[in-house]
């Protein structure tokens, strides 16, 4: 057989590889949003949050149609408890969106990134408070170090970094509640944007009535506001596709991509100040996250090894 006739190796990607690519892409979109929002600083955080919700709806609707998940949406909407819970989570995430945009507009992007860095540790605390889970030694050490980092930053700046902590806490609460709802990620996001559509339209109309709306004022502003929704929906859909294909430990390692990009954007693009004490506080937080991540990866591997050892031989 000649070289030309020899079969070429398959270039197709495995599901895990596809999942990793989807996950990286999702975090790149989330991380890139800081630069994107920086380009529309003149638009109020309220209008940006409103348009993130409004323009996410048609994108999510198209994905629901494409995936054929409309029946799942109908079943969820028929259950008042699910609708009530998703109404609360939709308001919670819109608040988080607006608060995040506001932090960029007032030059506090570094502090905002802190909130998303410590979010995994907030999740551990939530499990302790609401699920009766107990801290491992590594988790206790990580939480203690993170608390020291926050304390150093508080003393150095003269104020508790409440903005970052609020962002981390609200996003943790959103994720915690969403996990308790018996609805898929894509279906849930579509319902959330559907439930807030009318209030969001009312908010945009109110901004128009006050002469403070930028949507429709110029092609650039209109397209950028629409793009907020497109980016929001795209990141969520990519992450939803990724999480079904990759292991928990892989997703855990990748969750720091977006806050790292936000942090770098704040320092090198927005030129926000970074003194020695603030840098020291972040270094301590990063050490805490490294300990937490290594512990989580080891636990995940041990769990999978145990499951494999207990699996019946075929």
Q: For the segment 301-311, what is each residue's pLDDT rounded down to a tens digit?
A: 777 777 666 65
Comparing CA positions, the residue from 308, 289, 277, 186 lying closest to residue 238 is: 186
Read off the pTM: 0.83
Nearest to 73 by CA among 179, 192, 241: 192
Q: Exposed, middle or buried: residue 51 (CB in 10 Å: 0-12, 13-18, 19+)?
A: buried
DSSP annotation string for 118-186: SHHHHHHHHHHHHS-----HHHHHHHHHHHHHHHHHHHHHTS--HHHHHHHHHHHHHHHHHHHSSS-HH
Give the whole-number percent of the chain exceeding pLDDT 70.
93
Q: What is the 3-state secondary structure (H, E, C) of 236-289?
A: HHHHHHHHCCCCHHHHHHHCCHHHHHHHHHHHHHCCCCCCHHHHHHHHHHHHHH
Cβ-Cβ contacts under 8 Å for 106 (sequence gap 6 or more): none
Stretch 284-294: mean pLDDT:
88
Is the pLDDT reported for residue 131 higher than 70? yes
Give tens-digit pLDDT for 186-243. Answer: 899 999 999 999 999 999 999 999 999 999 999 999 999 999 999 998 887 788 778 7
Model pLDDT for residues 88-125, shown as the tens digit of each residue: 999 999 999 999 999 999 999 999 998 888 888 888 88
Reported confidence tier of residue 292, pLDDT bands at 50, 70, 90: confident
> What are the boundaries of each domain within the chain?
18-299
Tens digit of each residue's pLDDT (9 = 90 or more) over 17-70? 888 898 899 999 999 999 999 999 999 999 999 999 999 999 999 989 988 989
1 pLDDT more than 60: no
């Amino acid at each position: 057989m000649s070289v030309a006739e020899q079969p070429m190796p398959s270039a197709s990607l495995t599901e895990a590889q596809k999942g990793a690519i989807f996950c990286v892409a999702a975090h790149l979109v989330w991380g890139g949003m800081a630069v994107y929002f920086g380009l529309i600083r003149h638009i109020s955080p309220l209008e940006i949050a409103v348009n993130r919700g409004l323009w996410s709806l048609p994108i999510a609707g198209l994905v629901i149609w494409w995936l054929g998940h409309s029946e799942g949406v109908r079943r969820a909407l028929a259950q008042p408890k699910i609708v009530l819970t998703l109404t609360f989570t939709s308001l919670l995430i819109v608040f988080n969106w607006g608060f995040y945009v506001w932090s960029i507009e007032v030059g506090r992007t570094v502090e905002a990134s802190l909130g998303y860095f410590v979010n995994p540790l907030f999740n551990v605390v939530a499990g302790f408070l609401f699920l009766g889970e107990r801290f491992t030694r590594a988790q206790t050490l990580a939480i203690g170090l993170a608390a020291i980092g926050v304390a150093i930053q508080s003393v150095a700046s003269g104020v508790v970094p409440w903005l970052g902590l609020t962002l981390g806490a609200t996003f943790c609460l959103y994720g915690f509640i969403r996990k308790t709802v018996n609805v898929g990620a894509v279906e849930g996001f579509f319902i959330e944007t559907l439930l807030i559509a009318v209030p969001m339209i009312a908010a945009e109309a109110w901004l128009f009535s006050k002469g403070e709306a930028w949507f429709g004022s110029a092609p650039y502003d209109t397209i950028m506001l629409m793009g907020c929704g497109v980016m929001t929906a795209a990141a969520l859909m990519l992450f939803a596709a990724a999480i079904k294909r990759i292991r928990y430990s892989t997703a855990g390692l990748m969750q720091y991509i977006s806050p790292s990009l936000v942090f770098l954007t704040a320092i090198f693009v927005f030129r926000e100040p970074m003194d020695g004490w603030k840098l020291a506080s972040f270094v301590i937080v990063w050490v805490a996250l490294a300990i937490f991540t290594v512990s989580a990866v080891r636990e995940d591997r041990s769990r999978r090894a145990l499951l494999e050892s207990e699996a019946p031989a075929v």
